[in-house]
Structure 1
Amino acid sequence: MGILGIGVDLLHVPRIVRLIDGKTADRFARRILSEKEHLAWNAIPLADHARRAKYLAVRWSIKEAAYKAVFPLRPTWKNFTYHSLSADGQRKPWLEYHSDAPGRNLGKIHASVSHDADYVYTTVLVEAP
């Protein structure tokens, strides 16, 4: 297995909370989330601000780490979909890449997310195709 790249990101969740306060939450979510992620985000009750902020923070951070891992490719936010631990616990979290250009493929993408209180830390390793 050859490695295309490794990326990491550390995010202070209150930064995302400030970005999504007020009427900008949906605009921000539409900018960074894939369609599948946006549907899941909309299913989180509006009153659950903390959960909605953490959802966006994890996706922002994992995608930032992914961009660092695939450089010099310049994917868009929506080219990636983050999948957390499967409901049956049989599959660890992973990142899916949706190429919008023919011939632009990536190898397997390994993702790790840790969060504690106000911080989210993510790591992405991308295998060479």
Structure 2
Amino acid sequence: MLLGIGTDIVHLPRFRTLLSRVSPTRLARRVLAPTEQTDLVAALHLIWASRSVTGVQPLSKRFAIKEAAFKALYPVYHLQWHQVVVSKTQARKPTLQLTPEVAKLCGVRRSLVSVSHDGDYLVAVVVFE
């Protein structure tokens, strides 16, 4: 059964500007779960050093996926940043897991994630079943 669909779009230059005001590490601590922070340590150093549009993609991708997840469950449940964990399959496809408590409370049995980027834009779609 379909529980919700959410989408989010990120303008990468705007996200890069945000990172010029707030360090990537600080934003990562706020937005990412501890396991995600560990996964992105190397990428965060690249982001900080390059300040390029492609350099911000690892963090902006997770941000967009989480925002799409929030929208997919709203208004039934108000997710917190650390209740959503984004990772990758062996085929490098993004996946999303909710904390077991949230998944049970909301009746989420499966999540589907799609991410696409073109030029200065990145879009994420999340479906909960």
State the number of aligned residues: 123
Distance 1:102 1:125, change over 3 A: closer
Q: Which residue of 1 aligns with 2:78?
A: 74
The residue identity in structure 2 corresponding to 1:108 is: R
The residue identity in structure 1 corresponding to 2:114 is: S
Q: Are the aligned partners of 1:19 and 1:25 in contact in 2 as well (CA < 8 Å)? A: no
Say if 2:119 is the partner of 1:117.
yes
Q: Are the aligned partners of 2:8 and 2:124 in contact in 1 as well (CA < 8 Å)? A: yes
Q: Which runs of 5+ in 2 are unaligned?
A: none
TM superposition shift of 1:24: 2.6
User: Which of 81, 87, 106 is residue 83 of structure 1 equivalent to?
Assistant: 87
Larger CA deviation: 21-30 vs 113-122: 21-30
Q: Are the aligned partners of 2:11 and 2:121 in contact in 1 as well (CA < 8 Å)? A: yes
Larger CA deviation: 45-54 vs 23-32: 45-54
Give the Cα–Cα distance (whole angstroms) in 1 for the partners of residues 119 and 62 of structure 2: 16
Q: What's the Cα RMSD here?
A: 2.2
- Per the normalisation by structure 2, the TM-score is 0.82
Q: Which residue of 2 aligns with 1:39?
A: 38
| SS of alignment partner, residue 107 of structure 1 | coil
- Per the normalisation by structure 1, the TM-score is 0.82
Deviations 1:90-124 (CA, angstroms, capped at 9, x unpaired)? x7421111145695252200000001121111111
TM superposition shift of 1:9: 1.0
| SS of alignment partner, residue 7 of structure 1 | strand
| SS of alignment partner, residue 73 of structure 1 | coil
Give the Cα–Cα distance (whole angstroms) in 1 for the partners of residues 24 and 80 of structure 2: 19
Whichever structure has more helix as a proportion of its residues is 2
Runs of 4+ that moved beyond 6 A? none
